[in-house]
Chain A
Amino acid sequence: GENVEQHPSTLSVQEGDSAVIKCTYSDSASNYFPWYKQELGKRPQLIIDIRSNVGEKKDQRIAVTLNKTAKHFSLHITETQPEDSAVYFCAASIGGKLTGGGNKLTFGTGTQLKVEL
């Protein structure tokens, strides 16, 4: 089955700096890569995702890049702010169904990001 590895496990940056979190996946058939943010004691929330037909996607201060050949994808956060402090999870899945749903996500182990003042 799919295996997703995520690095680093903890990341500390100064406010205003950039943060980069990297993930690798094992199954070349995976074609959907979401990123979730989880604040302490709360539910994970989707912040950005990318499909395998694009190499990069950006949403304000957040961007994700995908290298299908190398089977890795990364989350980039620019101009970090204290409210960016949270645990970030990457995930991968194989999307095959046209309707409905039910494609399994395999998650990385998470990165604890701390933005220091």
Chain B
Amino acid sequence: DGGITQSPKYLFRKEGQNVTLSCEQNLNHDAMYWYRQDPGQGLRLIYYSQIVNDFQKGDIAEGYSVSREKKESFPLTVTSAQKNPTAFYLCASSTRDREGRETQYFGPGTRLLVL
């Protein structure tokens, strides 16, 4: 798990402001993911990327954007269109082994708070 880092640990957003959360991995994983976690709820998928320069919307993509210009990086931007951004954001990466097993490894998370 130490191969995935997220920054910052805490982030404060003002009204109408776009903010970007960083996610970096040195595990050489092809796939990367962004999840949102709210109290009492499971992890909900925002966006995921199976390979560099490609990404797909998850279940709750509205108000968010991503890019995947490098294999090791998958930043998430929370735009002003996201009206309820306060949550714990988790980044993950994965790869499939020779036995077909795919395990997602999570970063330490970023807690986003609205001022």
A interface residue numbers (CB < 8 A to B): 1, 4, 6, 9, 32, 34, 42-46, 49, 51, 89, 93, 95, 97-110
Cβ of A43 and Cβ of B109 under 8 Å apart? Answer: yes
State the 5 A-B residue pairs at the shortest beta-carbon distance, nearest first: A102-B50, A101-B31, A107-B42, A102-B31, A43-B106
Q: Which of B1, B41, B48 contacts A104 (CB 8 A)?
A: B48
Interface size class of B (residues with CB under 8 A): 20 to 34
Q: Determine the distance from Cα of A33 to Cα of B29 in the docked complex, in whole angstroms.
A: 20
Binding site secondary structure of chain B: strand
Q: Which of A43, A104, A110 contacts B58 (CB 8 A)?
A: A104
Q: Can you name 18 A-B residue pairings with CB atoms under 8 Å?
A: A9-B40, A43-B90, A43-B106, A43-B109, A45-B1, A49-B101, A97-B50, A97-B96, A98-B96, A98-B100, A100-B95, A100-B96, A102-B31, A102-B48, A102-B94, A103-B31, A107-B44, A108-B42
Cβ of B42 and Cβ of A102 under 8 Å apart? Answer: no
Q: A102-B30, A102-B50 are in contact. Are A46 and B94 (CB under 8 A)?
A: no
0/1 per residue, B66-81, Cβ < 8 Å to A? 0000000000000000
Cβ of A102 and Cβ of B51 under 8 Å apart? Answer: yes
0/1 per residue, B88-103, Cβ < 8 Å to A? 0010001110001111
Q: Determine the distance from Cα of A23 to Cα of B53 in the docked complex, in whole angstroms.
A: 35
Cβ of B31 and Cβ of A100 under 8 Å apart? Answer: yes
Give B19 Cβ to nearest chain A Cβ, in Å. Answer: 20
